[in-house]
Amino acid sequence: MTPVLAVEELSVRRADGHELVRGVSFTLGPGERLGLIGESGSGKSLTALAVMGLLPAGMTAGGSVLLGGTQVVGAPGRRLDRVRGRTASVVFQEPLTALDPLMRVGRQIAGPIRRRRGLRGPALRAAVLAALSEVRLPERVARAYPHEISGGQRQRVAIAMALACEPEVLIADEPTTALDVTVQAEVLALLDGLIAGRDMALLFIGHDLAVVAGVADRVVVLKDGSVVESGRTRDIVREPRHPYTRSLVDSAWALEGELDRLAP
């Protein structure tokens, strides 16, 4: 099977030459789920942006990123416009800033649907309502502005927008970090179900091992911009080889243990 996403020796440099991401490689086959884990500043989000060809101004990517067969590194913007949204789309960490504050939610969801499927008028309206019901949101949300709905609802809207593109890969950049723990579980379960139903590949970025382990079959552990360990999630949780991975696993267990101690 040809991978939908193949990253090889990816590097990201700042304008002053400082390397923020070094030699990151991984592949993602159709329907596969890969977790990208690391602390803040480890280069997780930059890796995701580099995959989409959307690095902040002044940063340059090196190496190779093949997204659905298209080389992203060094590609001109026009060619990337066709790849973005068709092959891959992104759910961001902070749902409030990921939605346009001055546009009603329905119109924001309609944008990618119109671009991807070419729907207009009543058909487009119906598709928007269908997309809302898929993420378990009531119809009235379509008429609301982002500040009028809750954080969990906003993230569902962002997920609906990303899925409306019907991408082959969904990139989720810490999609639940900004949410309450209870809402987090709901959104994760929702994301899990929606992706399974579509046979979509998932690149899940996070800093919380417990969360990443819950959705990803394989994980890549990043530290200071390089890969320190990668493999099947189960193997890594059971037998972490790198000291950093071990500390991640240990602290996840420590939290668990604290709960066990309080409620035996």
Partner 1 sequence: MRGRPTFVIGCVLVAVVFVVALGSLIWLPYDPADTSGGRLVPPGGAHLLGTDKLGRDLLTQLMVGARIALTVGVGSVLLGGALGVAGGLLAGFATRWLDDLLSAALDILIAFPTLLLAMLVVAAREASLGSAVLAIGLAMSGIVARLTRVLVKRVLAQDYITAARTSGASWPRVVAEHVLPNIWPTLLVNLALQLGLAVLAEAALSYLGLGPPPPNASWGRLLQEAQATVLTAPTGAIAPGVLLVVLVVGVNLVADGFRDLADPTRRRSR
Binding-site ranges for partner 1 (CB under 8 A): 49, 52, 54, 57-58, 77-78, 81-86, 88-90, 92, 94, 97-103, 111-112, 115-116, 145, 147-148, 158, 161-162, 164-165, 171
Separate counts of helices (H) and strands (E) for the chain: 10, 10
Q: Which is nearer to partner 1, 88 or 215 (CB)?
A: 88
Cα–Cα distance, 250 to 125 (Å, whole number): 49
Q: Which is nearer to partner 1, 56 or 264 (CB)?
A: 56
Q: Which is nearer to partner 1, 142 or 161 (CB)?
A: 161
CB of 115 to partner 1, least distance (A): 6
Q: Which is nearer to partner 1, 35 or 53 (CB)?
A: 53
CB of 248 to partner 1, least distance (A): 27
CB of 52 to partner 1, least distance (A): 5
Cα–Cα distance, 100 to 108 (Å, whole number): 8
Cα–Cα distance, 131 to 32 (Å, whole number): 23
CB of 50 to partner 1, least distance (A): 12
According to DSSP, the β-strands at 226-232 and 33-37 are unpaired
Cα–Cα distance, 32 to 21 (Å, whole number): 23
**Distance in angstroms between the alpha carbons of the first and the last residue of the chain:** 47
